Amino acid sequence: MSMKKVLLLTLVLVLVFSNLAFAAPSEAEVVDSFKEYVRTEVNKALATYEAKNQQIFELNKRKPPVWKRIHYTLSPDYTIDIRKNDSLVNPYIGKLEIAKISYYEEFATQEEAEKCTSPKHEDTDRYIFILAYQDEKWVVTNVVLKYSGEVKLMGIYDKLKNKYW
């Protein structure tokens, strides 16, 4: 074999193997990385609720003042989705939906609030996290809060109008 052929073959092999070494991750690898990232982050957040997840405090601006007990929790159940994007910077977009729940009740005295083990009212804040896959890692790009407590549904005008005129 001539020296030119050996050199050309070597160059082709170097290019082929360099493309394999620096190839973008497959879709399956991207999906797995998103699942693992979300699982890790949610588990870290869940752990923060183990030590201190409730609060008792006085609402002293009310007449007569009342005591409120709140128990916080994060739902271990969540949904995820990933879609391909036509952006070169963010080729994949991931979405995480998860609920943060507050159980609460008001009492006439601090002693009554301390005795309560299961507050009877519930508010749920639903968070939607939008993440982008950038430089082979996931980055949060937007967070939306969907509150599902007692909110009166109304039209755009009624919600946005000036209430002070």
- Per the domain annotation, does 17 fall within a domain? no
- Per the domain annotation, does 139 fall within a domain? yes
- Per the domain annotation, does 90 fall within a domain? yes
- Per the domain annotation, does 129 fall within a domain? yes
34 or 7, greater pLDDT: 34
What is the number of domains present in the chain? 1
Q: For 18-57, what is each residue's pLDDT tens digit?
A: 544 456 789 899 999 999 999 999 988 888 887 778 888 8
- Per the domain annotation, does 19 fall within a domain? no
Q: For 76-104, what is each residue's pLDDT tens digit?
A: 899 999 999 888 888 999 999 998 888 99
- Per the domain annotation, does 80 fall within a domain? yes
The domain in which residue 96 lies consists of 26-160
Q: Which of 47, 65, 67, 48 is nearest to 57 (CA)?
A: 67
- Per the domain annotation, does 40 fall within a domain? yes
Torsions phi, psi for 112 (to 5 deg): -65, -40
Inter-residue contact 100 to 125 (CB < 8 Å): yes
- Per the domain annotation, does 87 fall within a domain? yes
Inter-residue contact 103 to 119 (CB < 8 Å): yes
**pTM summary value:** 0.70
The alpha carbon of residue 128 and the mean position of all alpha carbons in its chain are separated, in whole angstroms, by: 6
Number of other residues whose CB lies within 10 A of the CB of residue 68: 15
